[in-house]
Copies of this chain bind each other. A is one copy, B any other.
Amino acid sequence: MQSIVLFGAGNVAVHLFEAFQNAEDTEVVQVYNRSAQNLAPFLNRVPTTTSLSEIKPADIYLISISDGAVPQLTKKLSNSGALIAHTSGSNPLFQIANRNGVLYPLQTFSRQTAVDFKRIPLCIEADSREDLDRLKLVGQNISEKVYEISTEQRKSLHLSAVFACNFTNHLYRLAEKICKQNDIPFSVLHPLIRETAQKARNNSPKPIQTGPARRGDQKTIDHHLSQLKSAELKEIYTLLTHSIQAEYESEL
């Protein structure tokens, strides 16, 4: 049994807590947050505190707060003797405490949406084999997918996730705006969005690329550009079209 104190009360912390509640070999013994107001989801379920002087001893101090605040809190906890691990994609494996680690869940969390943690990839890193094995055990308790990933790899993964998730969602948003401007329900696009995401997972995205840029259909490209009124959308359309054309140039 690994005991955990969870630091933070944001989306990631809340979802991690729920996952640990359903896990057999881990126990969250306390949740800390700087302010009391976000601790509501934890009340009556686990001891909580807003004071660093009241932190309980545990095997792992798991820090799930905003990226920029992680180093300072790690420092404050560094004499505890616990393994200090953070859940951040963009922070390195720190060398601040005696024992440092990372347990980074690669997923986009919203407070409202329940997640099936079992399917969320967990990227782990630690500065000793023993602590890496410890994080592996903890990770496997809540997820089927635990990866040993270096700091450099995790940073690249975080960057690639911006392309595959954040930018992709923004393209959905732009598509939704085009639909709305023309009185088309966005739901007409739902099956296409679903199929595109599914195909990219079943194959590599490269061979399944379709559309005017892919097939070098300049007439349709010109027509689309003439339909777009916003300079910003024109620029995005042009840049991504060029990028697709460069990728498949040799095949046209």
Interface residues of A (CB under 8 A from B): 67-68, 90, 106-110, 113, 115, 119-121, 123, 145, 147, 149, 152-153, 155-176, 178-179, 181-184, 186-202, 204-206, 208-214, 217, 219-220, 223-224, 227-228, 232, 235-237, 239-240, 242-244, 246-247
Contact = CB atoms under 8 A, between A and B. Distances in A.
A184 B153 contact: yes
Contact of A162 (B68, B108, B163, B224): B224
A106 B191 contact: yes
Given A209-B166, A224-B162, A157 B173 contact: no
Given A108-B196, A173-B204, A236-B240, 20 more contacts: A67-B220, A107-B195, A108-B195, A113-B202, A120-B191, A145-B188, A159-B178, A160-B175, A161-B192, A163-B174, A166-B213, A167-B240, A168-B193, A169-B199, A169-B200, A173-B205, A173-B206, A232-B242, A232-B243, A239-B239
